[in-house]
Amino acid sequence: MLEEWFPKVVAQFNDWKGVPDQLLDASDAIIGLGHYQGRSKVTGKTFKVPFAHVWFMKDGRTIKLNHNVNTLMLHCAMTVD
């Protein structure tokens, strides 16, 4: 689940930011396109990684979230060359 692994990922970086670039209304869902950026605590490498989120809504509340991010780009930021 997102709430279990996401804080562990974020803890590996300094200056972590999630920046929404675009929000789209899709009737019973909201699509968020944006990017994460920050700097690896281990390597000092900076990164800018795109994400796409889909929040499924019911009665004005989020009932499900699909979180898509390029994990290879995050891995590369954390890997010593």
Domain at 10, CATH number: 3.10.450.50
Residues 37 and 26: their CA atoms lie apart, in Å, by 26
Domain that holds residue 30: 2-78
Answer positive or negative: Cα dihedral of 74, 8, 35, 55: positive
State the total domains in the chain.
Answer: 1
Q: What pLDDT is attached to residue 16?
A: 92
Neighbours of 64 (CB within 10 A): 10
Question: In this model, does residue 2 exceed pLDDT 70?
Answer: no
Q: pLDDT per residue over 6-62, tens digit each?
A: 788 888 889 999 999 999 999 999 999 999 999 999 999 999 999 999 999 999 999
Q: What pLDDT is attached to residue 3?
A: 67
**Stated pTM of the model:** 0.80
Q: First vs last Cα of the chain: how many Å apart?
A: 30
